[in-house]
Amino acid sequence: MKIHLFEHRPDAHLRKAQEYLEEAYLARIEHQVAAEHHGALARMYAERIAWLEDEISHALHPLARPPQARTEAPPLDDPRAGSEPALYPVPSTRAPRPAA
Mean pLDDT over 6-21 rounds to: 85
Q: Name all contacts of 24-32 with Cβ < 8 Å and 24+ positions apart.
A: 25/90, 28/88, 29/90, 32/85, 32/87
Distance CA 36, CA 84 (A): 8
Give the model's pLDDT for residue 1.
52
Give the model's pLDDT for residue 5.
61
Mean pLDDT over 33-45 rounds to: 95
Question: Please, what is the average pLDDT of the chain?
Answer: 76
Structure confidence at residue 68 as a pLDDT band (50, 70, 90): low
| Best mean pLDDT range from 9-23, 61-75, 85-99 | 9-23
pLDDT surpassing 80 at residue 13: yes
State the pTM of this model: 0.48
